[in-house]
A = this chain, B = another copy of it.
Amino acid sequence: MLSHLSLSILLLNLLLVSAQTYQRLGACPTLGCVFPPDQTDFLVGQLFDIRLEVHAPVNGTEATGNTTPNETFTLCIQKGKGNCVEAKKYFNLKSEPAVEKWNFTYYEDLFAKDEGKLTGVNVAAKAYRAPGKYQAKLSYNGGAKTVANWEVREPAKKRKAKNVLFFIGDGMTQPMITAARLIGHKSINGKYQTLMQLDQMEALGLQMTHSIDSFITDSANSATALYTGKKSTVNALNVWVDSSSDVFDDPKVETIAELFRRKTGGPVGIVSTAYIADATPAALCAHTRDRGQSASVVYEFLYNATSLDPRFDWPTSCKGPDVIFGGGAEQFIAGSGSHQGKDFYKEFQSQGYQVVYDNTQLKKVDTSKKTLGIFTTGNLAKWVDRNVLTENLKGQSNHPTGDKTDAVDQPGLKDMTLKAIDVLQARSKGKGWFMMSEAASIDKMMHALDYDRALGELLELDDTVRASIKHLEEIGELDDTLIVVTADHGHGFDVFGGADTKYLAAQTEDRKKRAAVGVYAESGLSGYQVAPGSSPTNQSVVFGAQGPNFPVQWNPRYAYAAGFGASPDRREDYIINEKGPRTPATKGSDGGYVANPSEHTVGYSVSGTLPTDQSQGVHSLQDVPVYAKGPGAEAFRGVFNSVDIFFKIADALALGKPSKRH
C-alpha cells in the first residue's frame, strides 16, 4: 500500500510545478489581494484570518514599470450600508500589523515554461485576525481598489440533529453508483429486485465541486469547502492561499469539527480507508496550504496550529478527536515520517488514547476511551482484496507497528464506522456527536483506472451506510442522527457497454479485440449477478460469500466495459486485476508515461488524452450527488454549491447560534 501514498505525493508535486500560468495567484486576479476573497460566506461566529497583499510584477504582461509594491495600502471594513471604517479602528487594534515583504516567480503560460521565462512579483502584505461580517475594501497603488463582499448567513435558531454522521465517498459520482448497482444488485426484466441504500435515502441533492480559482478541484480544496463553507485552491486545507512561501502562514478558517468542539463540547470521530493524514480526513483539523505536510496534519489532530504558524496563535482546534481510525502508520512510527521524529502512538497515549492496530483489537476496544486505530502503513487494503482476492494482502510489509509483517487483519469501512459510533455514543453523554467516515479508495482506484476495485469500495460504502442506519436504530439514535452521504469531486467514469472477455482475449489484433465490446442491445445483462458457470439469463439469485448487495462473481465472461475521457496511455481488457490494484502506465523512453506493458496483456492498447507526465486518471467537473436522512435532511434536496453542505450541517446542529461555551 505504500506505493499509493508515494504516488499521491508525486502527483501533488507535479501539480505545483506545472500550474497553468495565467494564474499569478489563484484567488487574486488583480494586483491587490484580499483574503477571504469576494463572495465568501460565513457562519455567525466562525473564526478566520484576513490576509492583504499588494503585488508589483517585475516583468511579464502585468508589469507596470514600478517594481516596488505599494506599502501604504489601507483596509477599511463596512457593515451593511454604514461607513467604511479603518481596519485598525474596526478591530480595536493597538497598532496596524507590520508590513511583510517577499517575492515569488511564476510562468505566464506554457510557452513561457518551455522557454524557462519566469515572471517575478514583489509583494507587500499584512495580516489580521478578524471575526465579524463585512465588506472589505483594500486601497493600494494610490487609488486602485479591491472590494471583497463577505456574507454572514442567518443562523438556524434550533438544533434539529443531535448527531451527525457524514459519509464522503471520495471521487464518487452518480455514474459510478449506477455501475455499482448494476454489478451488486439483481434485476429481472428491467426491474431491480434490491436497491442500493443510497437509492433509498430521504433526500437527494447535487453539489458543485469547483475550486475558487480552477474548475477542477482536488480533495483538499473540496474537503475545505465541505467542512468550512469556503472555496479554496488545489492542495489547500482550511486556508486561503497567499503568495508567501511559508505553507503554514496562510489565512485560516475554522472547520465544522473545530466549531462543533468549541460550541458543543461533543465528541468528534474521523474514519477513513486512506492514510489518516490524507486530505479528506486531514481537512477536519489541519490548516496548511500544502496537503503534503502529513506529519503536521497528524500533529494538528492532537494539538492546535499555534506552534506551526509563525504569526498568530490559532485559537481553536479539534482538541484530539475521540475516534481516529485509518491507515498511515508512517506519521505515527517515530522516524522521518512523523512530526519532529516523535513516536506519535505514544503522543496519543499520553493524551489518554487507547491505540489499536488490527480488526481483532478494534472489536474489543473500551468504548469509554478516546481511541486511535491505525491499521496499516499507507492506505487500507481494498474491499476486493480483503474479501475476494485475499492473497493480495500478503507480502506487503505494512503492519502499522512498523515490524515489517503484513497487515492481514485490517478492518473495513463498516467495521470502523460501527465501532466509531459506539465510542462516540459512549463518550457523548447525551451531548451528541459528529463523525466523518470516508470511503477513500473509490477515488484512489479510479485514479488507477481499477474500476472493479473502485466499485467494490463504493459497494462497501453503501453497505456501511445500510449497516449504520440499522445500528443507529438498534441503539435508539436513528431519529436523532442526521446522515449525509456525498462526494468531494468526480472522475469522468461511465459504463458504455458490455465486453465479451473470452472473445477479446482470443483475438490477436487490437482492432479486432475492440469488436468484443457490445453496445446498446449487445451490452446484454449483468454477468456479475450470475453464479460462475451459469447463464447470464439464469433468473435464480445466488449470492456470493460476501452476502447480498455485492457481486456474485467479479470476473464474468460478459463484463461491463467502462472508461473515461481523461486517461494516460493504457491497455484495456475489462478483466479484474487479480494481482492487486492496477498500475495502468509506466515511464516510457521519452520520460513520459506509456501503457504499462506488463499489465492486461491480452487487452488492446489505447492512447491517452492527458499530458504524458500524468500516470493516472484525473478528477472531473461533474456535480456529485448528495444523499441525506434524518433530522435536517430536507435541506439537502436540489442543486447547490459544495460550500452549502457546511451551512446545512451547521444549521442542523445550530452551530451558528450564540452559545455559552467559549
Which A residues contact B (CB, under 8 angstroms)? 15, 18-20, 22-23, 26-27, 29, 37-40, 109-111, 173-175, 177-179, 181-182, 187-192, 195, 198-201, 203-206, 208, 210-218, 225, 231, 233-235, 490-498, 500, 503, 506, 511, 514-526, 535-539, 558, 560-567, 572, 590, 592, 605-614, 618-623, 625, 637-639, 641, 643
Asked whether, in the complex, the Cβ of B208 is within 8 Å of the Cβ of A178, the reply is yes
Partner of A216, one of B22, B491, B497: B497
**Nearest-Cβ distance from residue A262 to partner chain B, whole angstroms:** 26
Residue of B nearest to A28 (CB): B537
Q: Contacts A503-B109, A564-B564, A637-B204 known; A520 to B618 CB distance under 8 Å?
A: yes
In the complex, what distance in Å separates the CA atom of A131 from the CA atom of B473? 44
Chain B residue at minimal CB-CB distance from A626: B204
Q: Is A212 touching B234 in the complex (CB atoms < 8 A)?
A: no
Q: Which chain B positions have C-beta within 8 A of A520? A: 15, 214, 216-218, 234, 618-619
Chain B: minimal CB distance from A215 (Å): 5
Nearest CB in chain B: distance from A310 CB, A: 25
Contact across chains for A496 and B204 when beta carbons are under 8 A apart: no
Check A496 against B620 for contact (C-beta < 8 Å). yes
CB distance from A191 to the nearest CB of B (A): 4
| B606 and A206 contact, CB distance less than 8 A | no
Closest CB in chain B relative to A95 CB, distance in Å? 30
The docked-state distance in angstroms from the alpha carbon of A19 to that of B511 is: 19
For the complex of A and B, the 8 pairs showing the least CB-CB separation, nearest first, are A563-B565, A492-B494, A190-B231, A496-B566, A29-B537, A20-B522, A175-B622, A495-B621
The answer to whether A609 and B641 touch (CB under 8 A), given A494-B622, A566-B563, is: no
- Complex Cα distance, B511 from A562, in Å, reads 24
- CA–CA, A613 and B516, complex, Å: 12
Q: Are B639 and A637 in contact (CB under 8 A)?
A: no
When distances are taken between beta carbons in the complex, the residues of chain B under 8 Å from A609 are 496, 514, 517, 561, 563, 572, 606
Cβ B233 vs Cβ A212 within 8 A: no
State how many angstroms separate the Cβ of A584 from the closest Cβ of chain B: 13
Inter-chain contacts of A15 with B (CB < 8 A): 519-522
Across the interface, name the chain B residue whose C-beta is closest to A590. Answer: B511
Q: List 19 A-B contacts (CB under 8 A).
A: A40-B189, A110-B500, A182-B215, A190-B225, A200-B639, A206-B625, A216-B495, A216-B519, A492-B493, A492-B495, A492-B565, A494-B494, A494-B566, A494-B620, A519-B611, A563-B565, A563-B609, A565-B565, A606-B607
User: Which residues on the B side are within 8 Å of A178 (C-beta)?
Assistant: 208, 621-623
A22 contact from B23, B558, B572, Cβ within 8 A: B558
Q: Report the bound CA distance from A215 to B29 in whole Å.
A: 47
Within the complex, which residue of B493, B516, B563, B611 is in contact with A517, where a contact is CB–CB below 8 Å? B611
Contacts A192-B641, A211-B521, A216-B519 known; A20 to B498 CB distance under 8 Å? Answer: yes
- Known interface pairs A234-B520, A496-B621, A623-B177; A22-B537 also in contact (CB < 8 Å): yes
* A519 with B614: CB separation less than 8 A: yes
For A494, list chain B residues within 8 Å (CB).
490-492, 494, 564-566, 620-622
Distance in angstroms from A228 CB to nearest chain B CB is 12
Chain B's nearest CB lies how many Å from the CB of A605? Answer: 7
The answer on a CB contact under 8 Å between A521 and B215 is no
Alpha-carbon distance A198/B621, docked complex (angstroms): 17
Considering only CB atoms, which chain B residue lies closest to A512 in the complex? B612
Chain B minimum-CB-distance residue to A451: B565
Further pairs besides A109-B500, A491-B494, A564-B565: 6, Cβ < 8 Å = A110-B500, A216-B498, A235-B521, A515-B612, A519-B610, A564-B564
- State in angstroms the CA–CA spacing of A6 and B500 once bound together: 29
Contact present for B213 and A521 (CB under 8 Å): yes
Q: Do the beta carbons of A214 and B525 come within 8 Å of each other?
A: yes
Instruction: List residues of chain B with CB within 8 A of the CB of A498.
Output: 20, 214-216
A262 to B235: give the CA distance in the assembly, Å. 61
B20, B503, B563: the one within 8 Å of A521 (CB): B20
In the complex, residue of chain B having the shortest beta-carbon distance to the beta carbon of A20? B522
Say whether A496 contacts B564, CB under 8 Å. yes
Q: How far is the CB of A444 from chain B (nearest CB, A)?
A: 16
Contacts of A625 in B (CB 8 A): 206
User: In the assembled complex, how far is the CB of residue A531 from the closest CB belonging to chain B, in whole angstroms?
Assistant: 15
Contact A496 B40 (CB under 8 A): no
Q: How far is the CB of A629 from chain B (nearest CB, A)?
A: 11
> Roughly how many angstroms separate A620 CA and B620 CA in the complex, as a whole number?
17
Contact B496 A174 (CB under 8 A): no
Q: Given known contacts A27-B189, A189-B38, A215-B525, is B22 in contact with A535 (CB within 8 Å)?
A: yes
Give the docked Cα–Cα distance between A174 and B626 (Å). 13
Residues A211 and B190 in contact, CB atoms below 8 Å apart: yes
Give the one of A26, A235, A495, A538 with max B CB within 10 A.
A495
**Bound form: Cα–Cα A539–B30 in Å:** 10
The answer to whether residues A521 and B620 also contact, given A174-B174, A188-B39, A609-B561 and a CB cut-off of 8 A, is no
Residues of B contacting A225 in the complex (Cβ-Cβ under 8 angstroms): 190
Q: Which residue of B lies closest to A193 (CB)?
A: B39
Interface centre among A18, A496, A563 (most CB of B within 10 A): A496
